[in-house]
Structure 1
Amino acid sequence: MRKSLIASIGVLAMSTTALTACSNTEKDPERYPDKYVNTELEYQSSFSDIVKIMKSYFTTERDAPTPTFDLPVHVMTSQQLLSEQQDVVYRLGHSSVIMKLDGQLVMADPVFSDRASPVQWAGPKRFHKTPISLEDLPQIDVVIISHDHYDHLDKASVKALVDKVNHFVVPLKVGDYLVKWGVPKNKVTELAWWESHNVNGITYTLTPTQHFSGRGLTDRDSTLWGSWVINSQQANVFFSGDSGYFGGFAEIGEKYGPFDFTMIETGAYNKLWSQIHMFPEQSVQAHIDVKGKVMMPIHNSTFDLSMHDWHEPMNRALEISQERGVTMVSPEIGQRLEIHNPMPVNQWWNQ
C-alpha cells in the first residue's frame, strides 16, 4: 500500500462561450496560456515538499488505512437508469457520480479503472468494485470533468465511453486529452471559469476552485481545473471537484445559489497540502458558502490518497454537519438517492 501511495505522489508532483477542442497551435494564447493560476494564491510544491510528504507516508501510523470488510455496493443496471423518472444521483465511487436530471443522464469524473494511476500495476487501488461496468452503461447524455488528475480523468474510461457519451463538457485544454484519446472534436466543449454551455435545456457552468493540474512532471497547471454548477429545470446542483477552501465558494453561492444538492470534496486531506484540499470542517463550510440545502461528501471511500484512516472523512463530515445544522446524506455505493427526497444518514462505513 505504501508503494501505491508513493506512486501517486510522483504523479501529483508533476459571457457564455462554448469552444470545441482543437490543437493548441490554433488557440488564443490569452485564453489558453502556458500556465493557469488560482484566483487567491499561487500553489507551488518544491522538491523538499515532496520529500516531506514521502517521509510522512513512511512514518505515519494508521489504524485503518483500508477497509477490513467488503463495502456495500448496489449493483446497477442500464434499464434501471433509463427507466428512472425522478431527479436522482448515484455514487459510483470516489468522485464519480451519475445523475438523472430532467430525464437526462449526466456523469461526473468517471473513473472505472482499478487504480487511480498512469499505470495499472502500481498506484492507489480501489477498495470496491464499481456498481455498474462501462459495458453495461446506457447512452450518457453529458459527461463533465473537473480536472486532469488521474483520480478524476481516467484515460481507459474515456476511451471506453467514446461511443456511449453524446457530449463532454470540460475545462480549457482538458479537451485535448479527450480528442487525443478518440473523442470526436464536435463532442467536446471547453469552458473557462464562469462560462456556461447548455445541452438539451440543462446549463453547465464551470466555476473556480483552488487547486492545480498536471498528469506528469512537465505539464504542471497546463490545463484548467474547476467545479460545476448544473442547472436543470427541476434541480440546481453543485459538484465541487477538488479544492482548498477559499472565498470563491461564497462567490459561487451569490451568483448561482441556493443549491438543492451539493457534492463536496471531503477526503484525501492533510496539513502538508491544505491549500488545495479541504479538511471536513472546511468542506461543510464550503457547502454553507454556496448555499446548499443537502450535502453529499465525495472524494472518499474508494482510493487511499492520504494519511488519514479511510473512514475518517465520513465520520468527521457527519459530526461537523450535525453540529452546523447541515443536512448530510451518505448513500452506499450504487444506492439510489432522490435529490429532492434525501434519505436519513446510514453509517455504512462503520461496520
Structure 2
Amino acid sequence: MAFGTDIGIDLGTATVLVYVKGKGIVLKEPSVVAIEQTRKQILAVGEEARRMIGRTPGNIVAVRPLRDGVISDYEVTEAMLKYFLGKVLGKRVFFKPRVVVCVPSGVTEVEKRAVLDATYEAGAKQTFLIEEPIAAAIGAGLDISRPVGCMVIDIGGGTTDIAVISLGGAVVSESIKVAGDKFDEAIIRYIRKKHSVAIGERTAEELKINIGCAYKKPKVETMEVRGRSLLTGLPKTITVTSEEMLLALEEPVSAIIEAVHRVLENTPPELAADITTTGIVMTGGGSLLWGLDKLISEKTGIPTRIADDPVSCVALGTGKALEALDVLEASLIKDPRVR
C-alpha cells in the first residue's frame, strides 16, 4: 500500500486540509483542539472541537494552535497533526509518509523549524515546505514553470499572501497578517460600537459569510443576530445590514488592497506587463468575501478572478507538488533530516 506514503498538508489558521497522493483531498477540518486544562488532556480535534468554541465550562478550552498563519502552540499543533495523520493513514502508520506542508511566504527560520519539527514528531519520514502562494498558484491550475508572470492573492484565515510568480518561484511576494480572522474581529468591533452588543467569533463569521461584502451590493441584505447587550447584560437580537458590513470591513479590506499595490510597485516591468494580460487569481476562503475581486480589479485596473475551488487550492497545490518534487525543487524548502 505505497499510496499512503506521500501527503500534502495545508496547515491553515482556520482549516487543515490533507491531500493523499492518488486519492486527492481526504480530510478538511477546522484547526481547533479542545483541551481539558487540569489534566492537559485533548478531548476533541477538528469539527467536534470547533462546535465547543465559546460553549465550554471553565476547565475545558477550545484553542486554535495556529495564529496568523504560524504555530502559536507547538505541543497542541503536534497533537493535532498526529490526530489528522492517524485519521488519514489509519493502521498504515508504520509507512512513514513524505509530507509537503505549505507555509506563508513571510515565515521566519524559527517558524519554519517549528513546522518541520511538529511534522516529524507527528510521524513524517521526510518533510518539505512550500510557500502558500506557489501552492495556491499550482492548485489554481496556473502553469508557473513558464517565464511568464502570474499574480496570486491567497487570503486564508490568518494571513494574506500575495506573490508574482515566474519560472517556478516567487519574484516578488508579501505576507500580511490581515485575513479572515481580522474580518471577523472587525465585525465584532463594529457591532459592539454601533449596536452596543457583544457577539462571538462564530456569529461574526456567519455575518461575514452571509451578508459580508467589500463592494456595495446592488440590493441591501439583512440578517438577524443574537448577542449580549452591553447596556443591560441580557440577550438581545439585532438586525444587521450588508451596508453596515461594508463599513465594518473597510479597514482590513483596505490593508489588503494596499499590500497588492506594494507588490505591483515592486514587480519588474516585463512581469507587470504579463500580469495585465494574465490577470490576478484569488484563492483561499477569504477571497469569497462578496465583491472583493471586483474591488481589487477596480483599484488596480487588472482583471481579477476567483479560482474554481478557492478553499482547496493550496491543498491541491501541495498535492501536485508531491507529484513533481523534482521539477519544483527550487520552490521547495527542504530539511536535511531523513528518518
- Quick check: TM above 0.5? no
TM-score of the pair, normalised by structure 2? 0.32
Q: Which has the higher strand share?
A: 2
Q: Which has the higher helix share?
A: 2
TM-score of the pair, normalised by structure 1? 0.32
Q: Which has the larger radius of gyration?
A: 2
